[in-house]
Structure 1
Amino acid sequence: MNSNSRISVCLATYNGEKYVREQLVSILKQLSPNDEIIVSDDHSTDKTLSVIESLNDPRIRIIINELGKGYSSNFENAINHSTGDYIFLSDQDDVWIENKVKIMMNELQSFDLVVSDAIISDSFLKPTLGSHFKAHNTKIGFLNNWLKTRYIGACMAFRREIFSKLLPFPSQSKWCAHDYWIANIAEFFFKVKLVDIPLIKYRRHGNNASTGGEKSKNSIFHKIIVRIYTFLQLIKRM
């Protein structure tokens, strides 16, 4: 790895005052002085921003999401403002496990997208289902992830080189969420690696913005539209 390489952690927030400080502390201790955390806030109405500002760390840069309401647009906004060579995604309510950055960066020297396992936990970070990979039978490969991805966005890190195909995100985020899009772009065009080590405590507290790999409640019609729409968007990037 080039000693001048920089990491950008893209963290999307919305009314996350309860957990965001703990998450940021777990991230900051793993970053170098030259790395950055891009916090894209989706117009929070609680004390999220003041909690973040209280950390008073120059590596944190707060921007407001102007791409449209929703977590997928919020992540796209953060990614658009990132400047690093390597992008890590982060939810506002998890906790990074020690050595996450070191392990992921080692794999990113050979792969374009790296996805780690996670420990599925309750609101107090007590393990519930344990390994996400085992609980959801996570598998690598385009067909597997186009039909039914089990990759969690908060477990992803990728090289800036995938931006050429990744951005902008498809306009209809209701049919193509950010992590589903990133997974499919990477599997279709690039090299992907699964890291069979839990590197985050994936907090499920009942108010999470995403389902996190839990069983979808969407109709069969919706699922078909999602897959057709996403495949057509992939073809457009060829």
Structure 2
Amino acid sequence: MATYNGRHFIEEQLNSIFPQLSAEDELIISDDHSTDGTWEFLLALAKKDPRIKLFQNDQQGLIKNFEHAIKQSSKAIIFLCDQDDVWHKDKVETTLIYFADPKTQVVVSDLIIVDNDFEVLVPSYQAMRHTHSGFWANLVKSSYIGAGMAFRSELKAVVLPIPKEVPMHDMWIGLLADYHNGVKFIPEQLVYYRRHGLNASEIKTTASRIQQFKWRWNAFQLVRKRIKEIKEKQQNHFSNNKHQV
């Protein structure tokens, strides 16, 4: 979870998460130096629950805050989490079922978009965005959304560090996994995605078409560069091991 001035919302989200965690699970929270009491609230909560692990980001914004949280994680499956949403009571259990397929690297659930009072604004994010997997389709129009995303920890070696030129962290993670057909969009609506005017991220961009094209072109170049780097590392590792035998 990445937090920033979310004191007004965060308790509802945490109350939806804790019942789904086992004693062995962890809740990584990276806070971007909140000034509204969020950090103090989390410090008090962490004293009561050892599963909560707190870290502070260096006020570098949303993407770097999520990157910082991802770096600290140590479990096999990583769930991304917004501070102001609410999880469905079966989110973890339902999502983990899809990771039974070893080819699946990322799972993205559907969301119900609601207002501050949880009145439904859009009953299905996936229907609104016409979501589906596929690298090229999502490069043109990204369907990835972090609030509904979970991924294998092995993917950390691929997605980290997140380049500063990437428009959003969820797009970066999704594209890298989808490059190898590793993303699965699931129909279950597992998150109440709250829109209240104070969100750090937005569903629809207000950027011009030229800017959007630049983002997509940069994203493509960055993904291709990262995939090349990973392949070179793998080849070097294989070559070194071969020489040692």
1:217 aligns with 2:206: yes
1:63 to 40, 55, 60: 55
2:73 to 69, 73, 82: 82
1:149 to 126, 138, 142: 142
What is the one-letter code of the residue matched to 1:228?
W
2:100 to 101, 109, 121: 109
Number of aligned residue pairs: 223
In the alignment, the residues of structure 1 paired with residue 41 and residue 190 of structure 2 have an alpha-carbon distance, to the nearest angstrom, of: 24
Structure showing greater Rg: 2
Q: Give per-residue Cα distances to partners, 1:82-140, cap 9 Å, x unaligned.
A: 11111000000000001100011111121110000011000011211111111221121
Residues 89-104 of structure 1: pairs in structure 2 closer than 5 A: 89-104=80-95
Q: Secondary structure at the match of 1:164?
A: helix
Percentage identity across paired residues of the two chains: 42
Gaps of 5+ in 2: 228-245
What is the one-letter code of the residue matched to 1:151?
Y
Higher helix share: 2
Could you say what the CA RMSD is over the residues aligned between the two structures, in angstroms? 1.2
Residues 122-141 of structure 1: pairs in structure 2 closer than 5 A: 122-141=115-134
Gaps of 5+ in 1: 1-10
Higher strand share: 1
In the alignment, the residues of structure 1 paired with residue 218 and residue 24 of structure 2 have an alpha-carbon distance, to the nearest angstrom, of: 39
1:52 aligns with 2:42: yes
1:180 paired residue number:
171
Contact preservation (8 Å) 1:20, 1:52: no
User: Which TM-score applies when normalising by structure 2?
Assistant: 0.88
In the alignment, the residues of structure 1 paired with residue 161 and residue 215 of structure 2 have an alpha-carbon distance, to the nearest angstrom, of: 17
1:201 aligns with 2:201: no
Task: Return the offset for 1:15.
Answer: 0.1
In the alignment, the residues of structure 2 paired with residue 176 and residue 120 of structure 1 have an alpha-carbon distance, to the nearest angstrom, of: 22
In the alignment, the residues of structure 1 paired with residue 116 and residue 41 of structure 2 have an alpha-carbon distance, to the nearest angstrom, of: 19
1:226 paired residue number:
215
Task: Return the offset for 1:53.
Answer: 3.2
1:30 aligns with 2:20: yes
Q: Secondary structure at the match of 2:80?
A: strand
